[in-house]
Amino acid sequence: MLPNRISATVAFMLSALLISASAQPQRTHDIQPDDYFSLAHIRDVAVSPDGEFVAYTEVRWDSLLDRTTSDLWVVATTDKSRRRLTYDPANDTAAQWSQDSRHLYFLSKRSVAQPESGVEIAPKQVWRISREGIGLQQITRAREGVSQVELAKDGSRLLFTTSEPEYAGEWPALHKQYSHLEYGRGKVNFSQLHMLDLSSWRSRKLVAARQVIVDFAVAPDGNRIAMITRPDNTLLKNEGWSRVEVYDVASEATSVLTEQGWRDSHPSPFGWLAGLCWSEDSQALAFTIGFDGYPAEIYVGEWAGGSISLRALQGPEDITLQSGSLQWGAGRELCFLGQKQARRRAYSLSQVRDGRHTSLRELTPGDVVVSGFSLAGNKLVASKSTVATAADLFLVNKRGEYQRLTEINPQVASWKLPRISIVKWAGANSDTVAGILELPAGHKSGEPLPTIVQIHGGPTSASLHRFELSTGGRGLLPGQGYALFSPNYRGSTGYGDRFMTELMGRENDIEVDDILTGVDALVARGIADPERLGVMGWSNGGFLTNCLIARTTRFKAASSGAGVIDQLMQWGLEDTPGHVINFMQGQPWSKANAYRAASPLYSLGKTTTPTLIHVGGADERVPAAHARTLYRALNHYLRVDTELVVYPGEPHGLSKYRNRKAKMAWDLAWFDKYLLRPEAEMSMGQAW
């Protein structure tokens, strides 16, 4: 059965590719930085209850607003007709269908006319619109705005959370009196859960405990509401302090599902909870717990005979669960996104009961990367991309055959795409390591290329086998004549639990060996020019860039983005210190040598690599102190050619159009100077 199914799927995909190829224009366009901002992205996929329509948000860049905007669209699963529902630059998100499949409820920061003051931008509220794009109506008017929303399955009630600032602790009067100052604690935005009756338009407050509601989910029968809560609104309190609570609508009582001590058996106490979802019969609640450095886990709570059981659900060791991606299918089929060998697919576990399941099924087969999916009845819709296509929506039947529903980036058909392949080599300890290699379109083997090592963040993440145009260099740098090598080093997802956890306690060690042996392999195979090697990365990729330039002088240029330079500094400053504690396997006072060994700062003395340093001025994940320290060491004391670029007000990921454009321009100019034409005079002020 399985070989026949695979051949049928392959035949279908090949025929689709041939048909598509015959209609495609010639690939004549060389990818440029501005092409990055022409790409649209799909978010919030939702199949209507009747299976006839798919709602989604389409995210695009707006240069005038200096940011992205997102609008609601609907596509029919029968004739593939599309309709845009919203046009206001208000960032419409979290679309949910009404029971009759005729209306959509969503969150939006939308312009509202105020009789006394004209037009103003309101806080985020719940809105409703018909699938024809008419009858736009504001549903909530919460003073501080709405955080999350969910429509009850029967469509009669809308549940949503709000938050109110409150001064807590021992010194509330002083905190409030001098509120213009910054404090380590004191002001907390505590949450309230509300229920709005859509017939009477009366609302009542269900939960108003002194805590923060991170997420919630309503059981299909409406009798229970699950919540992920934590004691305050600092992100740190999500690591080990969050818990799952269940509110009983009839009794108005709240019980804790993840009682004290529940985390004791976990690989780390610093995990975060996500992905609450109820089974169709309302008797099972699933959620995930994710970790830095360890595989995410699925837990299922089940109600039977007046008692509740909570059990871990064992999944396959070679597929890495994407935290928060759970959805229940028909019956007790639990679906999720999982990574395997640089692919991401949707999978399902059948007959989930009592902590067990009967079988694993691959819902989206093939050489694909699925970024999101939605189920309704017998309809499965997935947003997928490949090495030759950007992400689009596809209807997927039970045989794993794809039927395209959208084509939101037709311009890509004329682009000269890089040749993307998976390469493998013997890494640290002679273990097999893999990565993604991108070569310029039309490149002929035999002549080594200037090569840039592009390192993914995380490290609990991976570079995926797909076409990707990113500010980190993928898709863009091959168009400028470089080979781009993205190694999935030790600690990456999708290569088995052991491969991931071997990095624990060995940062700035085993994964650096994995990367350097990968570079050696590309040089030996005649792909990489050993005299023209560069390295770049953001977040953990920036950290590993710092490690590499401290370890070796073979790289002729580097771009380090938001990278750690000192693990002790990172423990003391970042918003998720559990990350550092996990990888160092203890606190600084008990693992001082480990913190030092994993910090590239103490090995910088022989660094000669010209280094471009990027960081967001308001980055809480890897604070700018790391970038400034690296710049001081290289520029002032080691006299290495160095530039520091600080993006004012930006968080860990650059959010503004002009800043992402600047980042790409600086990277291209930097690598052009040192790798493409190192002997030439070049103005760093050149516009790209």
Report pLDDT digits (tens) over 560-577: 999 999 999 999 999 999
CB 17 within 8 A of CB 368: no
More confident residue, 67 or 377: 67
Q: Tell me how long the chain is.
A: 688
Identify whether residues 248 and 322 lie together within a single domain. Answer: yes
Highest mean pLDDT pick, 12-16, 403-407, 680-684? 403-407
Write down the residue that tokens 């609008």 correspond to.
71
Query: How high is the pLDDT of residue 170?
Result: 83
Identify whether residues 296 and 430 lie together within a single domain. Answer: no
Query: How high is the pLDDT of residue 181?
Result: 87
Highest mean pLDDT pick, 230-239, 315-324, 641-650? 641-650
Identify whether residues 214 and 331 lie together within a single domain. Answer: yes
Q: Is residue 6 part of a domain?
A: no
Q: Is residue 247 part of a domain?
A: yes
Query: How high is the pLDDT of residue 187?
Result: 79
CATH of the domain at 290: 2.120.10.30
687 band by pLDDT with thresholds 50, 70 and 90: very low
- The model's pTM: 0.92
Identify whether residues 439 and 330 lie together within a single domain. Answer: no
CB 28 within 8 A of CB 414: yes
| Domain that residue 577 falls in | 417-676
Which strand (E) or helix (H) includes residue 628? Answer: helix 625-631
Write the Ramachandran bin of 544: left for phi over 0, alpha for psi from -120 to 50, otherwise beta: alpha
The pLDDT tens digits of the residues spanning 268-305 come to 999 999 999 999 999 999 999 999 999 999 999 999 98
Write the Ramachandran bin of 237: left for phi over 0, alpha for psi from -120 to 50, otherwise beta: alpha
CA distances from 3 to 10, 72, 253, 365, 590 (A): 10, 40, 53, 13, 54
More confident residue, 599 or 21: 599
Q: Is residue 68 part of a domain?
A: no
Identify whether residues 429 and 287 lie together within a single domain. Answer: no
Query: How high is the pLDDT of residue 20?
Result: 41
- Which range, of 44-53, 457-466, 679-688, averages the lowest pLDDT? 679-688
Q: Is residue 321 part of a domain?
A: yes
Q: Is residue 69 part of a domain?
A: no
Interval 75-83 mean pLDDT: 97
Residue 684 has pLDDT above 60, yes or no: no
Give alpha helix (H) positions in 246-310: none
Query: How high is the pLDDT of residue 36?
Result: 97
The pLDDT tens digits of the residues spanning 353-371 come to 999 999 999 999 999 999 9
CB 626 within 8 A of CB 579: no
Identify whether residues 359 and 426 lie together within a single domain. Answer: no
Query: How high is the pLDDT of residue 678?
Result: 60
Paired strand residues for 602: none
Query: How high is the pLDDT of residue 113?
Result: 55
Identify whether residues 335 and 443 lie together within a single domain. Answer: no
Q: Is residue 26 part of a domain?
A: no
| DSSP reduced 3-state for 499 | helix
Q: Is residue 61 part of a domain?
A: no
Q: State residue 584 phi and psi, 5-degree precision.
A: -85, -15
Query: How high is the pLDDT of residue 172?
Result: 84
Name the nearest CA neighbour of 568 among 546, 539, 541, 591: 591
Q: Is residue 436 part of a domain?
A: yes
The pLDDT tens digits of the residues spanning 605-655 come to 999 999 999 999 999 999 999 999 999 999 999 999 999 999 999 999 999
Measured CA to CA, the distance from residue 491 to residue 541 in angstroms comes to: 12
State the Rg of the chain over Cα: 26
Measured CA to CA, the distance from residue 688 to residue 683 in angstroms comes to: 12
- Which range, of 117-131, 253-267, 445-459, averages the lowest pLDDT? 117-131
Q: Helix 510-524 to helix 540-551 angle, to the nearest 10 degrees?
A: 70
Identify whether residues 328 and 428 lie together within a single domain. Answer: no
Residue 448 has pLDDT above 70, yes or no: yes
CA distances from 375 to 145, 159, 180, 381 (A): 29, 21, 47, 7
CATH of the domain at 545: 3.40.50.1820
Measured CA to CA, the distance from residue 673 to residue 519 in angstroms comes to: 21
| DSSP reduced 3-state for 625 | helix
Residue 5 has pLDDT above 80, yes or no: no
Among 322, 346, 363, the domain-final residue is 363
Query: How high is the pLDDT of residue 664?
Result: 98
Query: How high is the pLDDT of residue 331?
Result: 86
Residue 184 has pLDDT above 60, yes or no: yes
| DSSP reduced 3-state for 357 | coil
Say if residue 400 is exposed, middle or buried (CB neighbours under 10 Å; 0-12, 13-18, 19+): buried
76 band by pLDDT with thresholds 50, 70 and 90: very high
Identify whether residues 190 and 319 lie together within a single domain. Answer: yes
596 band by pLDDT with thresholds 50, 70 and 90: very high
Query: How high is the pLDDT of residue 120?
Result: 53
How much is the mean pLDDT over the chain?
A: 92
Query: How high is the pLDDT of residue 209?
Result: 87
Among 322, 339, 363, the domain-final residue is 363
Identify whether residues 424 and 359 lie together within a single domain. Answer: no
Say what the alpha-carbon torsion angle 329, 334, 336, 342 is, to the nearest 10 degrees.
-120
CB 550 within 8 A of CB 603: yes
Tell me how crowded residue 225 is: count the other CB atoms within 10 A of its CB: 25
Q: In the chain, pLDDT over 90 holds for what percent of residues? A: 82
Among 363, 378, 401, the domain-final residue is 363
Identify whether residues 193 and 298 lie together within a single domain. Answer: yes
Identify whether residues 349 and 442 lie together within a single domain. Answer: no
CB 124 within 8 A of CB 114: no
- Which range, of 226-240, 242-256, 319-333, 620-634, averages the lowest pLDDT? 226-240
- Respond yes or no on whether the N-terminal peptide bond of residue 459 is cis (omega within 30° of 0): yes
| DSSP reduced 3-state for 187 | strand
Residue 112 has pLDDT above 90, yes or no: no
Number of domains comprising the chain: 2
